[in-house]
Amino acid sequence: MKASRTIKAGSANDAGGSVGVMVAGAGPAGLMLAGELALAGVSVTVIDRLPRRSAYCRGFNLNARSLELLDRRGIAGRFLAEGPKVPFGMFADPSRPLDLTAMDTDHPYVLGIPQTRVEELLEEWLAELGVAVSWGHELVGLEQDGDGLVVTVEAGGRRERRRAGHLAGCDGSRSTVRELAGIGFPGTSATMHGLLADIELADPADLPFGVTEGERGSVFVIPRPGYVRIVLDEPAPPADRDEPVEPAYFGRILDDTLGRSVALTRPRWLTRFSDAARQADRYVAGRVVLAGDSAHIHPPSGALGVNVALADAVNLGWKLAAAELDRAPDGLLDSYHQERHEAGARVLRDTRAQALLGRRDPGLDPVRDLFGELSGLPQVGKYLAELAAGVSTRYDPKVPGDHPWLGRLAPNLKLVIGERHTSVAELLRPARPVFLTCGDRVEHPGVDTFQILCPERPDLEGLLIRPDGHTAWVSTKADPQPADTLATALATWFG
């Protein structure tokens, strides 16, 4: 059913019911965002058009940055208990793995965990915070004015209009929210098409795990419990990208690629993908915000989708909460667009580069060889690992200073407060700003101040950390910062 879009003054006054923030989409971005809003005391409703969670998923990992963010909410352990920790990764070339243990992080590995399980654990956490997902509820209309907005939701054949303070579009690459808000989605169209099948091999010896080079291309096989995931190129663009991938068609493409026959049985899920890369031109449009695949799509290289979605949500949550509660300083919500649009653009660049390097094109062999040599250098390998995992993500702190922590995720320092031993991650669990001081206290509404000892960093004098864990101000004995820069940081981020 076609969604309707109206944006006009005074149109939102006749709606029944009211919510603070409505989140459309119960994927990783929507669930994490709803949790962040709930922690901040915001009334939040989560809807999803599907009747239940899909059993199929494209992604099977959480990277170091995601685990750091989850750790700062006290829930990383739930995810770590679910799968293996893999201390190596890749950047385009699976034959030259990156050493993830070289990264500066508490989690120098990739956690193997299906996206479906990530979503289940996030939904359980959300329920503990008092928020439930309304499955089978589809957003079909949006009216926005200066005072708020009205969303029209359809469920069970009935439509209901609800008043909301803000609407978060976390509803995927074909986002209805993005369309209704009139937000552009420019980028590059697909130049490569691929096929994916979760299926069983009649004879497991027919196709080994990893990359197998065939006569017309390569085949990537990933072991899964009771089946395998097979990924390969589709030789020609599909006439209809929504046309189902039939097992017989997939089998023919597999045999043609390898130049030999492989017997397949018991198909579970077959789909297609491409290297299209697009990014919303605005992440914030009035009272509408976008996160996750609604805001960006990129080639599947590196399996970053879930991880980028979580990073969007944690950056957005505290800012959207401040806007909804009318506590946000000027420009705070816009800083979500500035920070995450820039980060998203880097993801698009990096995944497109990986997709190009992975092409079966002999003309790229010299580039691949040179890149392989460079990635083998320890410093370059560490750079690529932290880049791919998002560990090196830095936001503009808007205060002077060149300390390496400034703008980046604050390290998980071990701290002593009185007789209590704690850590940065533990202090950030309420999702509030934190000021750590080894000297005088700083009183600021909404900022939790702690007088601390930091045995591992005895030169530390003060550290201001945003709710998303990023450092907003830092002063050390070797590089003391004046009080006016602290005042600027407090006013910029917390009013």
Instruction: Return the structure tokens found at 388.
Output: 């791919």
Helix (H, G, I), strand (E, B) or coil at 14: coil
What are the residues facing 299 on neighbouring strands?
none
Place of tokens 């390496």: 404
DSSP assignment of 430-457:
T---EEEESSS----TT-EEEE-B-TT-
> Within a 10 A sphere around the Cβ of 479, how many other Cβ atoms?
12
In this structure, the strands spanning 18-24 and 44-48 are parallel
CA–CA separation, 313 and 22 (whole Å): 14
* Centroid of chain to Cα 198: 24
Give the strand order in the sheet containing 110-112.
61-62, 110-112, 85-86
Say if CB 70 and CB 35 are below 8 A apart: no
The closest of 342, 322, 26 to 169, measured between CA atoms, is 26
CA–CA separation, 405 and 473 (whole Å): 9
pLDDT score recorded for residue 365: 84
Beta strand ranges found along 85-207 (DSSP E): 85-86, 88-89, 98-99, 110-112, 133-135, 138-145, 148-155, 158-169, 187-188, 193-201
**What is the crossing angle of helices 64-71 and 305-324, to 10°?**
40
Residues 6+ apart with CB under 8 A from 49: 136, 137, 138, 139, 171
pLDDT score recorded for residue 1: 41
Query: Virtual CA dihedral for 264, 265, 269, 271, nearest 10 degrees?
Result: 30
> Within a 10 A sphere around the Cβ of 422, how many other Cβ atoms?
14
Amino acid at 72: R
Amino acid at 376: G
pLDDT tens for the 495 residues of the chain, in order = 444 444 333 334 445 567 899 999 999 999 999 999 999 999 999 999 999 998 888 888 999 999 999 999 999 999 999 999 999 888 777 677 889 999 999 999 999 999 999 999 999 999 999 999 999 999 999 998 878 899 999 999 999 999 999 999 999 999 999 999 999 999 988 888 899 999 999 999 999 988 899 999 889 998 988 999 999 999 988 888 888 999 999 999 999 999 999 999 999 999 998 888 999 999 999 999 999 999 999 888 667 789 999 999 999 999 999 999 999 999 999 999 999 999 999 998 988 888 788 777 788 888 888 888 888 899 999 999 999 899 999 999 999 988 999 999 999 999 999 999 999 999 999 999 999 998 777 778 889 999 999 999 999 999 999 999 999 999 999 999 999 999 999 999 998
**What is the crossing angle of helices 332-357 and 378-389, to 10°?**
130
Q: Element (H or E) spanning 155, and its range? A: strand 148-155
pTM: 0.92
Residues 6+ apart with CB under 8 A from 55: 116, 269
Place of tokens 């993005």: 178
Query: Virtual CA dihedral for 457, 459, 462, 466, nearest 10 degrees?
Result: -40
Q: What's the length of the chain?
A: 495
Rg (CA), the chain: 24
* Residue ranges in 26-181 assigned as alpha helix (H): 28-39, 64-71, 76-80, 115-128, 176-180
Residues 6+ apart with CB under 8 A from 128: none
The closest of 250, 245, 301 to 277, measured between CA atoms, is 301
Place of tokens 């679910």: 82
Say if CB 122 and CB 69 are below 8 A apart: no
pLDDT score recorded for residue 275: 86
Which DSSP state fits 15? -
**What is the crossing angle of helices 332-357 and 305-324, to 10°?**
170
